[in-house]
Structure 1
Amino acid sequence: MKRSHLIVAIAAAVAVVLAVAWLAPNGRSNLIVIITPSMDNPFFGQEAHGAEARAKALGYQTLKFSHDDDAFKQSQLVDTAIARNAGAIILDNAGADASAAAVAKAKAAGVPVFLIDREINTRGLATAQIVSNNYQGAALGAEAFVQAMGEKGAYVELVGKESDTNAMIRSKGFHEVIDQYPDLKLISRQTANWSQSEAFAKTQSILQAHPEVKGVIAGNDTMALGAVAALESVGRSDVVVVGFDGSNDARDAIRAGKLRATVLQPAYRQAQYAVELADRYLKTGKTGQPEKQLMDCFLITSANAADLDNFNLVRR
């Protein structure tokens, strides 16, 4: 081989090695590990997709995992990220209290954690906590609900997991608005654990005990759609249903006249922003932003449902 060709070959090989072994200033690799509750749930799936797409566009390698809302499994996945010398972890966590130990463990190992969607109750462990402004979003949904109900009538509230801070914040946001209207009567408030099947079963039971129900407000779209299915099963098309999340299924239900409104929390953009902050931190040692950051939500009705796609408002 000619000397010039040999030099070119060696240079190319070195470039490949450097690309694979690129280290951030903190000595970690260019691997970003993305951990969400589920890949099957559209909301969490879009989080993972948004984070992965942005990370790859910025030149990072990625690994995606699901903890299935199991704090022990989450801890094991954080161990895996540490063992793989991850540069950063993007995490939608498994509980506000139960996840603090896992985040602390990553921090102690020098792996910054960027929380999305769900916050933890301990400050100073995560490098960033990027969450939707759930209170503001819930107030938007409640205002649409009150208007659709004509400010009166019996209604039901379906609440998410009791261990999830978001569930409680959304419920408080709902009641901040609804409780101002004395002719709106809450006849049942039940936890359906973010589950469509649980929401279906509980709505059916409530309807049997309280046929006077005129409205259902739910902490997420999955539960709202479970309520819609239960109402359809007994031929009730006169009940107002409002959800929260901004899923494509909710969009389609709104356009079909089955769901009155939902509240979009921008999951895709939130995940992308977390990766951008991680990139900034890995390159400079800081994000330049406070630990907790809120992203505003948007009301989705029949007027703008056509512009909703995969937890994004898009121009058509």
Structure 2
Amino acid sequence: MFKKIMLSTAALALWTLAAPIGAQAADLLAIITPSHDNPFFKAEAEGADAKAKELGFETLILVHDDDANKQSQLFDTAIARGAKAIVLDNAGAAATTAPVAKAKAAGIPTFLIDREINETGIAVSQIVSNNYQGAQLGAEEFVKLMGEKGPYAELVGREADTNAGIRSGGYHDVIDQYPDMKLAAKQSANWSQTEAFEKMQTILQANPEIKGVISGNDTMAMGAWAALEAAGRTDVIVVGFDGSNDVRDSIMKGGIKATVLQPAYRQAQLAVEQAKLFLDTGKTGVDEKQLMDCILINADNAAKLETFALKD
């Protein structure tokens, strides 16, 4: 019987101290992600968990809440528990190199998903969405929906997250080609729906003329849309990034206009498959850095979207 284990950091520490050596799993896979309050990260954990069980692993599912110190503690827990491998969506490109290197020194390979780190050669795999390509898709749709003109706002993700900068750069490499598109406001909402709601309210008060909002992820897009609805500004065009079910539903109701699907569930499963292959053979057969292309989601194909994957 396979076990799915979700414990607080404190409980894990106590369990680790109390557990006898013989209680360590022979084939334990640690899955570490940001908070499952965000459906994207929940889908990652569920995808990795399902594939791990299919391949014969026991799983240890942990959440770092985008806290680098907590992430380091969770790596210590995984090492103490005798994990064979770690699948990780990290808590910061710079802050993550040290714990990944520590795990490597302990003989535990790490397989990164969604977010890169600043170094190569310490993780076995870095499987990420082609954020630049996806951002360009989203920006092209945004420009078209805006009629190539008008003031707009941009909501950006966490500064410590490499993806935030890549997506913003991809957006602007497209949008900035259109001189009648005017950036009225650009603020970070740290990937948060609540923060995006508050930032959108402030932006609207200062810039009531805005006609569009392009967001670094769907969670912030949902927060922005809620603020726009509350202000009676459902005329404002909103485009997100991730491909969440929440934004799918909004698109189908005529709310948010588009998003960009990054295959979170499949990415996580691919990381587990590569972990299994590496543990069995000592190699994955592919490069460390791997890009997965994104797909534009709008009213034409939103009905096919389910849990960060397109149905046939």
How many residues align? The count is 290
Whole-angstrom CA distance in 2 between matches of 1:117 and 1:34: 13
State the one-letter code of the partner of 2:257.
Answer: R
**Which residue of the partner structure matches residue 74 of structure 2?**
77
Offset of 1:30 from its aligned partner? Answer: 1.2
Provide the secondary structure at the position in 2 that maps to 1:44: helix
State the one-letter code of the partner of 2:297.
Answer: I
Q: Do structure 1's residue 206 and structure 2's residue 203 form an aligned pair?
A: yes
Whole-angstrom CA distance in 2 between matches of 1:29 and 1:295: 32
Q: What's the C-alpha RMSD, in Å, of the aligned pairs?
A: 1.2
Q: Deviations over 1:107-148 (max 9, x none)?
A: 000000000000100111101000000000000000000000
TM-score scaled by length of structure 2: 0.91
Q: Which moved more, 1:270-279 or 1:76-85?
A: 76-85
State the one-letter code of the partner of 1:46.
Answer: A
Whole-angstrom CA distance in 1 between matches of 2:36 and 2:184: 35
**Which residue of the partner structure matches residue 313 of structure 1?**
310
Contact 2:111 2:271 (C-alpha < 8 Å) held by counterparts: yes
Q: Do structure 1's residue 237 and structure 2's residue 234 form an aligned pair?
A: yes
**Which residue of the partner structure matches residue 219 of structure 1?**
216
Offset of 1:85 from its aligned partner? Answer: 1.2
Whole-angstrom CA distance in 2 between matches of 1:248 and 1:69: 22
Provide the secondary structure at the position in 2 that maps to 1:137: helix
Q: Deviations over 1:257-311 (max 9, x none)?
A: 1101000000000000000000100000011111110000000000000000110
State the one-letter code of the partner of 1:81.
Answer: A
State the one-letter code of the partner of 1:239.
Answer: V
Whole-angstrom CA distance in 2 between matches of 1:209 and 1:43: 31
Q: Do structure 1's residue 57 and structure 2's residue 47 form an aligned pair?
A: no
Whole-angstrom CA distance in 2 between matches of 1:226 and 1:48: 23
Among 102, 113, 117, the alignment partner of 2:114 is 117
Q: Do structure 1's residue 267 and structure 2's residue 264 form an aligned pair?
A: yes
State the one-letter code of the partner of 1:29.
Answer: A
Q: Do structure 1's residue 185 and structure 2's residue 182 form an aligned pair?
A: yes
Q: Do structure 1's residue 278 and structure 2's residue 275 form an aligned pair?
A: yes
Whole-angstrom CA distance in 2 between matches of 1:37 and 1:195: 12
State the one-letter code of the partner of 1:73.
Answer: K
**Which residue of the partner structure matches residue 17 of structure 2?**
none
Instruction: Extract unaligned runs of 5+ from structure 1.
Output: 1-20
Q: Do structure 1's residue 92 and structure 2's residue 89 form an aligned pair?
A: yes
Q: Which runs of 4+ in 1 moved over 3 A?
A: none
Provide the secondary structure at the position in 2 that maps to 1:313: coil
Q: Do structure 1's residue 228 and structure 2's residue 229 form an aligned pair?
A: no
State the one-letter code of the partner of 1:162.
Answer: E
> Mapping of 1:17-166 within 5 angstroms?
29-166=26-163
Q: Deviations over 1:180-204 (max 9, x none)?
A: 0000000111000001111111111
Q: Deviations over 1:65-89 (max 9, x none)?
A: 0011111111111111111111100
Identity over the aligned pairs, expressed in percent?
A: 69
